[in-house]
Amino acid sequence: MKLNKYELLNRSYSFISFENLALTIAVKNIGDNTIHFITFNDVKNVIGEVNNTDKTITEAKVDENGNKLIELIVDNKALKLEYTNYSVCSIKVFENYFALYEDELIEMSGEWEKEFSSHGYLQNETKDLENQRLIIAMDTETNKLVGYLYGHKYKTRNASATIPEDSKVFELEEIFVKKEYRSRGIGTTMFNAIEDKMKQEGVSYITLTTKTKDYKKIFNFYIDELGMSFWHARLFKQI
Protein backbone atom coordinates (compact mmCIF):
# COMPACT_ATOMS: atom_id res chain seq x y z
CA MET A 1 0.00 0.00 0.00
CA LYS A 2 1.44 3.36 -1.02
CA LEU A 3 1.09 5.87 1.76
CA ASN A 4 0.77 8.90 -0.52
CA LYS A 5 -2.11 7.40 -2.50
CA TYR A 6 -3.74 6.13 0.68
CA GLU A 7 -3.81 9.57 2.21
CA LEU A 8 -4.83 11.53 -0.82
CA LEU A 9 -8.02 9.44 -0.75
CA ASN A 10 -8.65 10.09 2.94
CA ARG A 11 -7.63 13.59 3.99
CA SER A 12 -10.81 14.94 5.59
CA TYR A 13 -10.20 14.17 9.26
CA SER A 14 -8.15 15.98 11.89
CA PHE A 15 -6.38 14.38 14.81
CA ILE A 16 -2.74 14.22 15.85
CA SER A 17 -1.23 12.77 19.01
CA PHE A 18 2.27 12.02 20.28
CA GLU A 19 2.79 8.92 22.43
CA ASN A 20 6.28 7.64 23.32
CA LEU A 21 7.96 9.17 20.24
CA ALA A 22 5.18 7.90 17.96
CA LEU A 23 2.95 10.22 15.95
CA THR A 24 -0.60 9.05 15.24
CA ILE A 25 -2.71 10.72 12.58
CA ALA A 26 -6.31 9.87 11.76
CA VAL A 27 -7.75 10.36 8.30
CA LYS A 28 -11.32 9.69 7.20
CA ASN A 29 -12.56 8.08 4.03
CA ILE A 30 -15.48 10.23 2.90
CA GLY A 31 -16.98 7.37 0.92
CA ASP A 32 -17.53 4.81 3.68
CA ASN A 33 -16.69 6.81 6.86
CA THR A 34 -13.88 4.43 7.78
CA ILE A 35 -11.27 6.07 10.02
CA HIS A 36 -7.65 5.13 9.28
CA PHE A 37 -5.19 5.60 12.15
CA ILE A 38 -1.63 5.88 10.83
CA THR A 39 1.13 5.62 13.44
CA PHE A 40 4.66 6.75 12.58
CA ASN A 41 7.21 5.09 14.88
CA ASP A 42 10.50 6.44 16.31
CA VAL A 43 9.70 9.99 15.30
CA LYS A 44 12.64 12.42 15.38
CA ASN A 45 13.96 15.62 13.85
CA VAL A 46 10.60 17.36 14.02
CA ILE A 47 10.62 20.77 12.34
CA GLY A 48 7.57 22.91 13.19
CA GLU A 49 4.86 22.79 15.85
CA VAL A 50 1.97 20.34 16.26
CA ASN A 51 -1.40 21.92 17.06
CA ASN A 52 -4.89 20.41 17.02
CA THR A 53 -6.71 21.80 14.00
CA ASP A 54 -6.61 21.68 10.20
CA LYS A 55 -4.16 18.83 9.72
CA THR A 56 -3.38 17.39 6.32
CA ILE A 57 -0.76 14.87 5.25
CA THR A 58 0.83 16.21 2.10
CA GLU A 59 3.67 13.84 1.32
CA ALA A 60 5.56 10.77 2.54
CA LYS A 61 8.92 10.11 0.94
CA VAL A 62 12.48 8.81 1.35
CA ASP A 63 15.28 11.36 0.90
CA GLU A 64 18.63 10.86 -0.84
CA ASN A 65 20.16 9.53 2.40
CA GLY A 66 17.46 6.87 2.85
CA ASN A 67 15.67 8.72 5.67
CA LYS A 68 11.90 8.25 5.77
CA LEU A 69 10.18 11.63 5.94
CA ILE A 70 6.60 12.84 6.31
CA GLU A 71 5.40 16.36 5.57
CA LEU A 72 2.21 17.75 7.12
CA ILE A 73 0.27 20.97 6.96
CA VAL A 74 -0.73 22.08 10.47
CA ASP A 75 -2.67 25.35 10.79
CA ASN A 76 -1.38 26.34 7.35
CA LYS A 77 2.22 25.79 8.48
CA ALA A 78 4.54 23.05 7.24
CA LEU A 79 5.62 20.34 9.68
CA LYS A 80 8.35 17.87 8.72
CA LEU A 81 9.57 14.85 10.65
CA GLU A 82 11.63 11.70 10.26
CA TYR A 83 10.34 8.24 11.23
CA THR A 84 11.40 4.59 11.11
CA ASN A 85 8.23 2.87 9.90
CA TYR A 86 4.47 3.21 10.06
CA SER A 87 1.46 1.03 10.74
CA VAL A 88 -2.20 1.44 9.87
CA CYS A 89 -5.27 0.46 11.88
CA SER A 90 -8.64 1.05 10.20
CA ILE A 91 -11.73 1.52 12.34
CA LYS A 92 -15.39 1.66 11.41
CA VAL A 93 -17.66 3.54 13.81
CA PHE A 94 -21.39 2.99 13.60
CA GLU A 95 -24.60 2.57 15.56
CA ASN A 96 -26.07 -0.89 15.93
CA TYR A 97 -28.26 -3.07 18.10
CA PHE A 98 -26.28 -4.34 21.07
CA ALA A 99 -27.55 -7.94 20.90
CA LEU A 100 -25.37 -8.55 17.83
CA TYR A 101 -22.27 -7.82 19.90
CA GLU A 102 -23.48 -8.54 23.42
CA ASP A 103 -20.70 -10.96 24.38
CA GLU A 104 -17.92 -8.66 23.13
CA LEU A 105 -19.44 -5.64 24.86
CA ILE A 106 -19.71 -7.43 28.19
CA GLU A 107 -16.17 -8.80 27.80
CA MET A 108 -14.81 -5.29 27.19
CA SER A 109 -16.57 -3.92 30.25
CA GLY A 110 -14.91 -6.75 32.19
CA GLU A 111 -11.53 -5.47 30.98
CA TRP A 112 -12.51 -2.04 32.28
CA GLU A 113 -13.37 -3.47 35.70
CA LYS A 114 -10.00 -5.26 35.93
CA GLU A 115 -8.12 -2.02 35.21
CA PHE A 116 -9.39 -0.53 38.51
CA SER A 117 -9.34 2.87 36.82
CA SER A 118 -12.79 3.94 38.06
CA HIS A 119 -14.20 3.95 41.59
CA GLY A 120 -16.68 1.12 42.04
CA TYR A 121 -17.00 0.13 38.36
CA LEU A 122 -18.43 -3.37 37.78
CA GLN A 123 -18.68 -5.40 34.60
CA ASN A 124 -21.91 -4.89 32.66
CA GLU A 125 -24.70 -7.41 32.42
CA THR A 126 -27.23 -7.75 29.62
CA LYS A 127 -29.80 -5.68 31.51
CA ASP A 128 -27.36 -2.75 31.71
CA LEU A 129 -27.31 -2.47 27.91
CA GLU A 130 -31.05 -2.78 27.28
CA ASN A 131 -32.83 0.28 25.85
CA GLN A 132 -29.55 2.12 25.34
CA ARG A 133 -28.30 3.95 22.25
CA LEU A 134 -25.05 2.28 21.25
CA ILE A 135 -22.07 3.41 19.19
CA ILE A 136 -19.39 0.82 18.49
CA ALA A 137 -15.89 0.97 16.98
CA MET A 138 -14.73 -2.06 15.00
CA ASP A 139 -11.26 -2.93 13.70
CA THR A 140 -11.94 -3.54 10.00
CA GLU A 141 -9.06 -6.02 9.71
CA THR A 142 -10.11 -8.34 12.53
CA ASN A 143 -13.84 -7.46 12.61
CA LYS A 144 -13.52 -7.26 16.40
CA LEU A 145 -14.97 -4.51 18.55
CA VAL A 146 -12.35 -2.21 20.05
CA GLY A 147 -14.57 0.37 21.73
CA TYR A 148 -18.12 1.29 22.63
CA LEU A 149 -20.25 4.16 23.84
CA TYR A 150 -23.79 4.00 25.13
CA GLY A 151 -26.37 6.19 26.81
CA HIS A 152 -30.01 7.27 26.71
CA LYS A 153 -32.20 10.27 25.95
CA TYR A 154 -34.49 12.02 28.40
CA LYS A 155 -36.29 15.31 28.97
CA THR A 156 -35.50 17.49 31.95
CA ARG A 157 -38.36 17.83 34.42
CA ASN A 158 -36.74 19.90 37.18
CA ALA A 159 -35.17 23.01 35.77
CA SER A 160 -31.61 23.81 36.80
CA ALA A 161 -29.33 26.80 36.39
CA THR A 162 -27.47 24.80 33.75
CA ILE A 163 -30.12 23.00 31.69
CA PRO A 164 -33.59 24.57 31.16
CA GLU A 165 -36.89 22.77 31.78
CA ASP A 166 -38.09 20.38 29.04
CA SER A 167 -34.70 20.23 27.35
CA LYS A 168 -33.85 17.11 25.35
CA VAL A 169 -30.72 15.56 26.86
CA PHE A 170 -28.51 12.58 26.04
CA GLU A 171 -26.94 11.05 29.15
CA LEU A 172 -23.68 9.32 28.22
CA GLU A 173 -23.46 6.28 30.47
CA GLU A 174 -20.19 4.68 29.34
CA ILE A 175 -17.41 5.19 26.82
CA PHE A 176 -14.56 2.68 26.62
CA VAL A 177 -11.69 1.85 24.26
CA LYS A 178 -9.49 -1.24 24.57
CA LYS A 179 -6.07 -0.38 26.00
CA GLU A 180 -4.07 -1.30 22.90
CA TYR A 181 -6.23 1.03 20.75
CA ARG A 182 -6.06 4.13 22.93
CA SER A 183 -4.49 7.50 22.06
CA ARG A 184 -5.67 7.21 18.45
CA GLY A 185 -8.81 9.33 18.61
CA ILE A 186 -11.28 6.42 18.70
CA GLY A 187 -13.09 7.75 21.78
CA THR A 188 -13.35 11.16 20.17
CA THR A 189 -14.66 9.58 16.97
CA MET A 190 -17.41 7.70 18.83
CA PHE A 191 -18.37 10.81 20.81
CA ASN A 192 -18.60 12.86 17.61
CA ALA A 193 -20.77 10.15 16.05
CA ILE A 194 -23.34 10.22 18.88
CA GLU A 195 -23.22 14.02 19.00
CA ASP A 196 -24.10 14.21 15.30
CA LYS A 197 -26.97 11.75 15.74
CA MET A 198 -28.36 13.59 18.75
CA LYS A 199 -28.28 16.92 16.91
CA GLN A 200 -30.32 15.32 14.11
CA GLU A 201 -32.86 14.16 16.72
CA GLY A 202 -33.25 17.59 18.31
CA VAL A 203 -31.20 16.92 21.46
CA SER A 204 -29.71 20.08 22.97
CA TYR A 205 -27.34 18.73 25.62
CA ILE A 206 -25.01 15.80 26.26
CA THR A 207 -24.32 15.09 29.93
CA LEU A 208 -22.25 12.52 31.79
CA THR A 209 -20.98 11.59 35.24
CA THR A 210 -17.44 10.28 35.60
CA LYS A 211 -15.83 8.46 38.52
CA THR A 212 -12.38 7.88 37.12
CA LYS A 213 -9.34 7.95 39.40
CA ASP A 214 -7.25 9.86 36.84
CA TYR A 215 -9.32 13.05 36.87
CA LYS A 216 -6.67 15.16 35.12
CA LYS A 217 -6.59 12.85 32.11
CA ILE A 218 -10.37 12.53 31.91
CA PHE A 219 -10.91 16.29 32.23
CA ASN A 220 -8.42 16.82 29.42
CA PHE A 221 -10.39 14.38 27.26
CA TYR A 222 -13.89 15.69 27.96
CA ILE A 223 -13.16 19.40 28.35
CA ASP A 224 -10.12 20.13 26.19
CA GLU A 225 -10.66 17.59 23.41
CA LEU A 226 -14.45 17.23 23.26
CA GLY A 227 -15.41 20.78 24.23
CA MET A 228 -17.65 19.88 27.18
CA SER A 229 -18.09 22.23 30.15
CA PHE A 230 -17.52 21.47 33.83
CA TRP A 231 -20.78 21.27 35.81
CA HIS A 232 -20.19 19.97 39.33
CA ALA A 233 -18.11 17.42 41.27
CA ARG A 234 -18.67 15.09 44.20
CA LEU A 235 -15.54 14.20 46.18
CA PHE A 236 -14.73 11.86 49.07
CA LYS A 237 -12.01 11.40 51.68
CA GLN A 238 -11.68 8.36 53.90
CA ILE A 239 -10.89 9.34 57.51
What pLDDT score does 184 carry? 78
What pLDDT score does 211 carry? 84
> How many other C-beta atoms are found inside a 10 Å radius of the C-beta of residue 46?
14
The 10s digit of each residue's pLDDT in 179-208 is 988 877 888 888 988 999 999 999 999 999
Average pLDDT of the chain is 80
Res. 59 pLDDT band, cuts 50 70 90: low
What pLDDT score does 205 carry? 94
Q: Which helix (H) or strand (E) holds 198?
A: helix 186-200
Distance (Å, whole) CA 116 – CA 172:
20
| CATH number for the domain whose boundaries are 91-225 | 3.40.630.30
The 10s digit of each residue's pLDDT in 132-142 is 999 999 998 88
Q: Spell out where 75-155 has E strands.
A: 77-83, 86-95, 133-139, 144-155
CATH 3.40.630.30 in the chain: give the residue spans: 91-225
Between β-strands 86-95 and 34-40, what pairing exists: parallel, antiparallel or unpaired? antiparallel
What's the angle, vertex CA 195, arms to CA 190 and CA 196, rounded to 5?
Answer: 100
Q: Identify the bridge partners of residue 83 per DSSP, sorted by sequence position.
A: 68
Distance (Å, whole) CA 59 – CA 165:
52
The 10s digit of each residue's pLDDT in 65-85 is 777 777 766 556 666 777 788
